[in-house]
Amino acid sequence: MNLNKLFKRTVAAHRDSPAVALGEHTLYTYGELDQRVNRLAASLRQTCGNNSGERVVLFMKNSVPYVELQLAIWCAGLCAVPVNSKLHPLELDYILRDSGAKVCVSQGELMAEFKEVVGRIPGLKLIDAESESYDKMAKGNLEQSVFVSDEDLAWIFYTSGTTGRPKGVMLTHANLVAMAMCFHADVVSVDHRDAIIHVAPLSHGSGLYAIPMWMKGALQVIPPSGGFDEAELFGLIERIERINLFASPTIVKRMVNYANDVCPPLENLKTVIVGGAPFYLQDMRAAVDCLEGRIAQIYGQGESPMTISAMSASEVDLAIKTGDDEMLASVGMRQSLVDVQVWDFNDRCCTSGVMGEVVVSGPSVMKGYWNNLEASEKTLTHGWLRTGDIGYLTPRGLLVLTDRSKDVIISGGSNIYPREVEEVLLLHPNVIEVAVLGRESAEWGEDVCAFVVGKTGYVLTKQELDLLCLQHIGRFKRPKEYFFIENLPKNNTGKVLKTVLRERLHSI
């Protein structure tokens, strides 16, 4: 089953139901959305030379065109490449070149900033989703039926690796359908009366969860701000029934702080699905108490999108009411269509309670990494995805995570890989060595911190290193703090001892 066929089923069943809204104002029914999707698909396919499988980069903030373009790409037999709109021009340049994209769709202010990057890539077409020409695309000729296989690529998600080079996670139609089925079975049960409001980026988790929502004929709501604003969100919750949303722990904490101060009505809030970063127990308790038990939690990776383990809102609420600390300390049970094991260093399955690497198999697991066979073979072992996360399974099947072996820093729900930041800082001619780590933050989940060793006789400053980072990577990846030291602690093989640095960081 492919996504286009599922969307057509929804249109047939819910043609007159509201499909897309900007704030509280419905813009399109499912029937009207279908017409726009078909016409956009025809134009996109023509732009791609009528070739199936071509990649279309979506470098956009949350918007109504984002929702319809996602569907149009699949209708046209093409592959979406959603990209974080906060990325630096050099990062976008790499993704555009590596993916071999034929089209990049952006909008207004982003277009002005990145037009030069796009212009340097031969044969790449640029479309402004806020232009008159885009409106003409949505009113053009209808798309003829295009054959789409379940195993065709639907989404390439670029996630930075520990080497610092982004890797393109290849997700097929079948992968995303499996993810949606697990959502319905394990996370939230929804129907055409529900709504999802996209306060988190559509290029990541919120965009993935658009799929199970439109499968059931639910309403997609784009906030007028295009992102997260506490007052705006709770205002929409007051006016739109049965609202669901995906949120990072950072967003949830801000929701809780606002709700505790303002006490807004919560009757229309159905479920807040939390994922993308560690959700600490004290924060979960505070959220459940403030939002009256409407918190669900999921654990997944780009390589098995949103689909490793889960706890529904009712399970979280019951665990808190009954004092089930084992459940609350976990990330829930395996989702329905995947198998989860824990392996030791010899790739043998561990018994309950024994720590090892978390591995996953099932129909949601990626096809591999785009143009990166070596990384694919390292990450996929006999059909099992090696997550790089360390944890254990309890006797009743709860998954408990204890560490992230890949050292990824998760700040505000965004993954930041230390090696990527380290390589930028090492571009400074007076930086000899550097080690980047995350430190727990009440606001962001984790802050990026850098230990820097400079050349003798040269006094490095925070300002010059900040400027260097801003020239090469997104602002959100820039270290919040720098610690200038004489040398990095190392073992006898020369490997930097980040455990020692973490201890030092926690003591500062």
- Domain ranges across the chain: 3-328, 333-404, 409-507
Q: What is the mean pLDDT of residues 472-481?
A: 95
Indicate whether 272 pLDDT > 50: yes
Give the distance from CA 202 to its chain's centroid.
8
Report CA 105 to chain centroid distance, whole Å: 19
Mean pLDDT computed over 154-176:
86
The pLDDT confidence band at residue 406, using thresholds 50, 70 and 90, is low
Which segment, 106-110, 156-160, 259-263, 401-405, is predicted with the most confidence on average?
A: 259-263
3-state DSSP helix/strand/coil percent for the chain, to nearest 5? 35, 30, 35
pTM of the model: 0.86
Mean pLDDT, residues 148-158 taken together: 97
Q: What percent of the chain has pLDDT over 90?
A: 79
Task: Give mean pLDDT, residues 297-316.
Answer: 97
Check pLDDT > 80 for residue 277.
no
| DSSP for residue 145 | P
Taking all residues of the chain, what is their mean pLDDT, rounded to a whole number? 93
* CATH number, domain 333-404: 2.30.38.10
Residues 6 or more apart in contact with residue 310 via CB below 8 angstroms: 182, 186, 187, 296, 297, 298, 299, 331, 332, 333, 335
392 has which bridge partners? 400
Q: How far apart are CA 221 and CA 244, in angstroms?
A: 10
Q: Tell me how far CA of residue 45 lies from CA of 38, 145, 298, 381, 435, in angstroms.
A: 11, 11, 35, 36, 46
Structure tokens at 478: 């820039």
Whether pLDDT at 492 is above 70:
no
The partner residues of 153 in beta bridges, in order of sequence, read 172
3-state class (DSSP) for residue 18: strand
pLDDT score recorded for residue 280:
79
- Any bridge partners for residue 450, and if so which? 436, 482
81-110: b or e for each residue (b if 16 or more CB lie within 10 Å)? bbbbbebbbebbbbbbebbebbbbbbbeeb
Tokens linked to 248: 């990072």
Alpha carbon distances (Å) from 55 to 125, 220, 319, 357: 11, 24, 44, 33
| 75-110 confidence digits (pLDDT tens) | 999 999 999 998 888 889 999 999 999 999 999 888
**Helices and strands in the chain, H and E counts:** 17, 26
Q: Is residue 493 over pLDDT 80? A: no
User: Do 333-404 and 409-507 come out as alike in CATH topology?
Assistant: no
Q: How far apart are CA 501 and CA 240, in angstroms?
A: 48
Checking if the pLDDT of 140 tops 90, the result is no
d(CA 299, CA 305): 9
Q: Quickly list H helices, 120-197.
A: 132-137, 173-182
Q: To which residue do tokens 């973490």 refer?
A: 502
**Token digits for 88?**
């630096």
Nearest to 338 by CA among 369, 363, 315, 370: 363
Confirm if 73 and 44 have CB atoms less than 8 A apart: yes
Rounded Cα distance between 231 and 387, Å, is: 37
Cα separation, 427 vs 393, in Å, equals: 42
3-state secondary structure 361-387: ECCCCCCEECCCHHHHHHHEECCEEEE
DSSP reduced 3-state for 108: helix
Residue-level pLDDT at 460: 96
137 pLDDT above the threshold of 60: yes
Q: Using 50, 70 and 90 to split pLDDT, how confident is the model at 143?
A: low
Q: How many CA atoms lie within 13 A of 351 on its CB side?
A: 0
The pLDDT value given to residue 160: 61
Q: What is the pLDDT of residue 507?
A: 86
Task: Average the pLDDT over 395-404 and give the result.
Answer: 88
Say if CB 411 and CB 476 are below 8 A apart.
yes
Residues 277-294 have a mean pLDDT of: 89
Domain 3-328 has CATH 3.40.50.2300: no
Distance between CA atoms of residues 311 and 296, nearest Å: 6
Residues 240-252, mean pLDDT to the nearest whole number: 95
Provide the pLDDT for residue 119: 80
CATH architecture of the domain with residue range 409-507 = 2-Layer Sandwich (3.30)
Model confidence band, residue 161 (pLDDT cutoffs 50, 70, 90): very low
Give the pLDDT score at 164: 58
* Residue-level pLDDT at 403: 66
Strand partners, 341: 359
The number of beta carbons lying within 10 Å of the beta carbon of residue 335 is 28
Tell me the C-alpha distance between 113 and 318, whole Å: 49
Q: What is the pLDDT of residues 322-345, one digit of tens each?
A: 999 999 989 999 999 999 999 998
pLDDT of residue 238: 97
CB 117 within 8 A of CB 83: no
Report the pLDDT averaged over residues 436-449: 91
Q: Alpha-carbon distance 298 to 275, whole Å?
A: 5
First to last CA, the chain: 54
Range with top average pLDDT, 208-222, 270-284, 381-395, 438-452: 208-222
Task: Say if CB 397 and CB 420 are below 8 A apart.
Answer: no
Pairing state between β 431-441 and 414-416: unpaired
Q: In this predicted structure, what is the pLDDT of residue 48?
A: 94
